[in-house]
Chain A
Amino acid sequence: MLIFEQSSSGRRALAQSPAKKAALDDLPADVLRKDPPAMPEVSELQVVRHYTRLSQKNFSIDTNFYPLGSCTMKYNPRACNSLVMLPGLVDRHPHAPDSHSQGFLSCMFELQEILKHVTGMKQVSLSPMAGAQGEFAGVAMIRAYHDAKGDNERREIIVPDAAHGTNPASAVMCGFKIREIPTKNDGDIDIEALKEVLGPQTAGIMLTNPSTVGVFERRIQEIARLVHEAGGLLYYDGANLNAILGKVRPGDMGFDVIHMNLHKTFSTPHGGGGPGAGPVGVSERLVPFLPVPMVDFDGDKYRFLTKQERPETIGRLSAFAGNASILLRAYIYARMLGREGMTRVAEYSTLNANYMLKKMQLAGFQPAYPERRATHEFIITLKKQAKELGINAMDFAKRLLDYGVHAPTTYFPLLVPECFLIEPTETESIDALDYFIESMIKIQEEAETQSDMVKGAPHTLPVRRLDDVKAARELDIAWKGCDN
């Protein structure tokens, strides 16, 4: 039942708004609203109960193993949330003067420094508000760099066919054309194809390493050399930074610009779809173009650097300074990890993924890249099951929900048919991993003996499979009142 359908005319949460109603009769009548909006009229308890019950219809990290590939669903330490809610932090106005901002700014400055060291980049700006905005900022800097040199013919960005959809979408927002290059059967990109598309029109290349197919791009140094020789720059998509944190750094691999997904690698909440935070780090040549604001420290005081002090900046991307209190959560997490903890993130997420891969392989599931090491994630393909049993990756995914496990990422990357992209993260125990594998083995048995039951899954959740076609054809995207 919708909260709207629980309304009773005149009911409200009396403790939560001013006791008196202001007249507003000093304002001209033609700017005033005539009828109040159709909002719920409910009590405080009704609200609390309704949304608590809704929350219980969700799978989440706190309640379920959630091995969603490319999303790094690791444990979110509770301290990161409770500490940013401290008075002084939660109620600091974004335009508060420096005299009342030193606590906050010092955290931001230190976070910039930590991210610099762990990525091997020259300078960091924290301002992008999510990975996709970090990508946009990164590609915009590549454009600004070429434009500043008068190199206005460089209008192509190279993207592997396995790339996340945000890569081409971000590049297009910066006015670039996309050149796709293929991935080889071993998961590395096709260097011969890369050589063919490189040229005086190349602005840069966007890569994820480990790549979206879950393997480390072994010839990354050669790729960096080729792109740089052609006059292009290298962009690092930080989606998979968890796999290499403290083990190898994008700056050392030859990347010129990277974005990080703090809601992945630095364990800030995924929140049912965000907020994220997508700081960008750059090599020396891109430092002037970093988005503002940035935090500076003169040895005594911390302060924001503005557009006036950064004349070549690509500009600001938000009204204030990005997703500040997400950045604070990431800072707290980074301080708890410390330098040893960063390296452990990569080590144990990789251990977990390789363990799962091996055990699933032994159980008869087919890896997409059998000759490669898994990184922090890996891909299996269920094309055999789809062909022989008529049970596809979607069916396995839905049945996993009945076993209390959130499904891995399905049907991405697009080039592996019927695939599962599985990312266990470092915070899961061997018991959780084994339970997932046992569940997959059971579903395989079910697929062989009672395929209709599997195709009808899930059976134990608040709803069964939904009619997506009806949802799109007969759009119902807002409640229109009781009569409809």
Chain B
Amino acid sequence: MSNIPADLMFTSSHEWVKDEGDDTVTIGITDHAQELLGDLVFVELPEIGDVIETGGEAGVVESVKAASDIYSPVSGEVIEINEDLVDSPELVNEQPYDNGWIYKMKLNDASEIEALLDAEAYSAVVESEDH
């Protein structure tokens, strides 16, 4: 069973969101997602200043045999990207919720976070996929 931290919010497309409390969030892909993809070889990051809608494409994570879009869980403006992933995409495999974060966003609407899945609901999504 993959790691699903209780303090984060999630999407059914396997992104996680951390509320930083100041109308900004940090976004990455879940442990379950990185396990499905296997060893990542490349992360296509958004650009700082990009304005992305909820569900819009924010980037791509790529392994040898698969590539998967990152769908933005919330809408807003990209304010920071994880440049370390350019040379070390394996950080997403090793520390998906920590040094493997992908981008930070200034929220349009803080209430969007509440509409996301909590850890329990996301666990159910993962479990249903396994069967």
Contact = CB atoms under 8 A, between A and B. Distances in A.
A475 to B, nearest CB: 9
A334 to B, nearest CB: 38
A468 B42 CA distance: 13
A402 B12 CA distance: 43
Contacts of A471: 64
B80 interface: no
Contacts of A96: none
Interface string B40-60: 011000000000000000000
Contacts of B90: 473
Contacts of B64: 468-469, 471-472
Interface size of B as a range: under 10
A314 B41 CA distance: 39
Give the one of B39, B42, B89 with max A CB within 10 A.
B39
Interface in B62-101: 62-65, 89-90
Say what secondary structure dominates the interface of chain A: helix
A473 B92 CA distance: 14
Interface in A434-484: 468-469, 471-473
Contacts, number: 14
Interface size of A as a range: under 10
8 contacts: A468-B65, A469-B63, A471-B64, A472-B41, A472-B62, A472-B64, A473-B41, A473-B89
A468 B62 CA distance: 13
Interface of B: 39, 41-42, 62-65, 89-90
Lowest 3 A-B CB distances belong to which pairs? A472-B41, A468-B64, A469-B39
A424 B8 CA distance: 52
Give the one of A468, A471, A473 with max B CB within 10 A.
A473
A469 B42 CA distance: 10
A473 B63 CA distance: 10
A417 to B, nearest CB: 13
B87 to A, nearest CB: 9
Contacts of A473: 41, 89-90
B90 to A, nearest CB: 8
Given A469-B63, A473-B90, 12 more contacts: A468-B64, A468-B65, A469-B39, A469-B41, A469-B64, A471-B64, A472-B41, A472-B42, A472-B62, A472-B64, A473-B41, A473-B89
Nearest to B42: A472
A327 to B, nearest CB: 35
A465 to B, nearest CB: 12
A468 B64 CA distance: 7
Contacts of B63: 469
Nearest to B90: A473
Nearest to A411: B65
Give the one of B42, B62, B64, B90 with max A CB within 10 A.
B64
A473 B39 CA distance: 10
Contacts of B41: 469, 472-473
Contacts of B39: 469
Contacts of A469: 39, 41, 63-64
